């Protein structure tokens, strides 16, 4: 499809899927209108890039539905210029949206194939302030901490303590949490002081499992994890 067609589809997506569902943050709207989602999906699926659904990418993973990306980023209440940590890079789409708002984005992906793909795509689009690491996202990126905001794109059985400790006082952490691999509650944690945190329940969601030292373990339930991974991240399911 022609670039102009994609731009029109991107605008329609923002109006019909994002704004119509209540996302109003001007910085988020502008970012969603700017980032070419088609660049972050397999070539054979680019015509579906702006559909109201997640899409499969490499390694059995998914790129989240556009609305859930916008909704989660809006809950971070970014105002521009922040340092943000993302856990679960995937193909790099949400990191690019964050990169339109934040001054520095650090994103961790446990699957090397996806980390490499995201790095190449982000660099090709000029997002040189978005830094990708392949590793255990449940441990965060301690060398670059603290962060103004942290966003996690996978479901955890509990909030990783490492991520809480890498959050600045006054910062916010958004993460899906639940002891069921197929559904979670989206939670926002606000750090009030060195020792005090406030927790808010935002929505019911379904994400692939957050695997790592402070998350789910590969060997803990292979069959359930594989089944969950086949169900993409989608808001409200």
Catalytic residues: 64
Q: Which conformational region is residue 215 in: left (phi greater than 0), alpha (psi within -120 to 50 degrees), or beta?
A: beta
Pairing of strands 234-235, 197-206: antiparallel
CA distance 233 to 230: 10
Report how far apart, in Å, the C-alpha atoms of 136 and of each of 53, 87, 90, 170, 234 are.
27, 9, 13, 25, 23
Q: Do 4 and 16 meet the contact criterion of CB atoms below 8 Å apart?
A: no
Any alpha helices (H) in 137-236, and if so which ranges? Answer: 161-165, 222-229
Q: Say if residues 133 and 115 touch (Cβ distance below 8 Å).
A: yes
Structure tokens at 205: 């969601």
| Cα 9 from Cα 200, distance rounded (Å) | 34
Q: Contact, 216 vs 209, CB < 8 A?
A: yes
């Amino acid at each position: 499809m022609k670039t102009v067609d994609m731009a029109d589809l991107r605008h329609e997506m923002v109006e019909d899927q994002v704004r119509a569902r209540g996302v109003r943050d001007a910085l988020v709207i502008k970012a969603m209108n700017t980032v070419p989602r088609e660049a972050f999906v397999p070539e054979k699926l680019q015509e579906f890039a702006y559909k109201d659904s997640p899409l499969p990418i490499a390694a059995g993973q998914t790129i989240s539905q556009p609305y859930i990306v916008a909704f989660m980023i809006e809950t971070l209440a970014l105002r521009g210029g922040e340092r943000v940590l993302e856990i679960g890079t995937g193909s790099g789409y949400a990191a690019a949206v964050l990169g339109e708002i934040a001054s520095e984005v650090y994103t961790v992906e446990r699957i090397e194939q996806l980390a490499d793909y995201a790095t190449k795509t982000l660099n090709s689009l000029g997002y040189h302030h978005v830094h990708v690491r392949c590793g255990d996202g449940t441990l965060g990126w301690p060398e670059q901490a603290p962060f103004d905001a942290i966003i996690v794109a996978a479901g955890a059985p509990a909030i990783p303590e490492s991520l809480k400790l890498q959050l600045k006082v006054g910062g916010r952490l958004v993460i899906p949490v639940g002891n069921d691999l197929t559904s979670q509650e989206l939670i926002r944690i606000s750090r009030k002081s060195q020792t005090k945190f406030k927790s808010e329940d935002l929505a019911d969601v379904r994400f692939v499992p957050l695997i790592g030292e402070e998350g789910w373990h590969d060997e803990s339930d292979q069959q359930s994890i594989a089944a969950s991974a086949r169900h993409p991240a989608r808001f409200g399911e």
